[in-house]
Amino acid sequence: MDISLVLIAIVVIILIAIAAMYNSLIGRRNQVHNAESSVDVMLKKRHDLIPNLVETVKQYTNHEKEVLENITALRSKLISQPLDKSERNLLERELSKDLQQLSISVENYPDLKANENFLNLQYNLNEIESQISASRRAHNAAVLSYNNGLDKFPSNIIAGFFNFKREEFFDIIPSERANPNVKSLFDNE
């Protein structure tokens, strides 16, 4: 009788441990999805701001037409098509690069730089870019915690049994890791 109670206690403890690990992995996966959703909200805010920014800049300059067209085209692709994570991240990086190029180009237009509407849009864009960066850091922290849960013993056994999949980090492409060539930005002047 004592052995059967011990065996029942061991089985109950094992089941409780399995349930705790499973629930922990579910919680971590939900944190990843929540963080990813926060990034999406910030990206939507940026997408909503872009048309106003483009129209304001168009009023002052014709020289930046190509950059403005790229920004508009990228925004259209991002909001009109369902994209997988890697495609969306690639397009978002291109959009960030073009927005940064536009900000640098604006330096050549003192009237535009002094325009109150443009200054407000630029301030909002900078604020949103900071929020996007913070959201991506929170996402990466959630992914790290989740992926660690998938890799560490004994939860890795539970993760494998229930077919949990690794999540991807928001990362930059290797070409963006290099220091920018500031001199080339001013060679056109």
The fraction of the chain above a pLDDT of 70, given in percent, is 88
- Beta carbons of 21 and 104 less than 8 angstroms apart: no
- Beta carbons of 90 and 174 less than 8 angstroms apart: no
Model confidence, pTM: 0.72
Under CATH, domain 2-186 is a member of which superfamily? Answer: LemA-like domain (1.20.1440.20)
For 124-161, write each residue's pLDDT tens digit.
888 998 999 999 999 999 999 999 999 999 999 999 99
For 62-81, write each residue's pLDDT tens digit.
667 778 888 888 888 888 87
Question: Residue ranges per domain, the chain?
Answer: 2-186
Give the pLDDT score at 172.
Answer: 64
**Amino acid letter, 4:** S
